[in-house]
């Protein structure tokens, strides 16, 4: 095990502690205001050891975000592949789960947009997004609803785009929306919590479920 300035590297406990501390500080201060020195002090390690593991603040942030998004996609996969729940219930659960997730992980939407703009293939190669959707019970149920005449729109991607837009867009544009409406952060979160109930109703009306 290598030592860096008197501290042992290669310790997965230390590595995980750095990520946990960094996540907390990123959320408290935001990415721009966070310094690697702040993370090192809070994690009770020296800066050299932090740099040994993660090289830079940018790399550490990227690792945290990719892991966070992957964990969320796994969560969504459980919902989308539940055999016993209806398509309507899946929409309700997906909206609720995603809203709760972004309230807890506020950096994620902007991180994803930034990564997709810079190099979409690099991020998508790490995340099984296509496989999750196309091979899901959700996708099968949608097509069954179409064949039974319960949904007027035969293209499932319109359905999925509408759903994701209703959930994601308010978070991405929250500074503008809060400025227009004069809402505080807490008031905006309350609005998003109300959307848990409203989004399934809107989707149902749009797609004629």
pLDDT digits (tens, 9 = 90+) for 37-79: 999 999 999 999 999 999 899 899 888 888 888 888 888 899 9
| Domain boundaries for CATH 1.10.10.60 within the chain | 1-55
- Domain 61-207 CATH class label: mainly alpha
Q: What is the pLDDT of residue 166?
A: 93
pTM score of the predicted model: 0.76
Instruction: Give the whole-angstrom CA distance, residue 56 versus residue 22.
Output: 12
| Domain boundaries for CATH 1.10.357 within the chain | 61-207
Domain at 1-55: CATH code: 1.10.10.60
Residues 6+ apart with CB under 8 A from 184: 178
The stretches in the chain having pLDDT less than 70 are: 1-12, 209
Q: List the one residue out of 39, 45, 38 whose CA is nearest residue 14.
A: 45
């Amino acid at each position: 095990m290598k030592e860096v300035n008197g501290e042992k590297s290669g310790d997965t406990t230390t590595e995980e502690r750095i990520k946990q501390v960094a996540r907390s500080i990123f959320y408290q201060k935001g990415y721009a205001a966070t310094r690697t020195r702040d993370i090192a002090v809070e994690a009770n390690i020296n800066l050299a050891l932090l740099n040994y593991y993660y090289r830079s603040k940018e790399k550490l942030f990227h690792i945290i975000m990719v892991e966070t998004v992957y964990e969320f996609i796994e969560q969504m996969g459980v919902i989308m592949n539940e055999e016993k729940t209806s398509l309507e219930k899946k929409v309700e659960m997906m909206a609720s789960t995603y809203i709760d997730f972004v309230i807890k992980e506020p950096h994620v939407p902007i991180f994803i947009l930034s990564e997709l703009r810079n190099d979409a293939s690099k991020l998508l190669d790490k995340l099984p997004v296509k496989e999750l959707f196309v091979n899901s019970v959700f996708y099968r149920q949608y097509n069954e609803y179409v064949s039974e005449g319960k949904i007027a729109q035969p293209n499932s991607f319109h359905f999925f785009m509408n759903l994701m837009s209703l959930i994601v867009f308010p978070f991405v544009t929250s500074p503008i929306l809060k400025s227009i409406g004069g809402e505080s952060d807490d008031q905006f979160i309350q609005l998003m919590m109300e959307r848990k109930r409203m989004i399934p109703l809107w989707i149902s009306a749009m797609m004629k479920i």
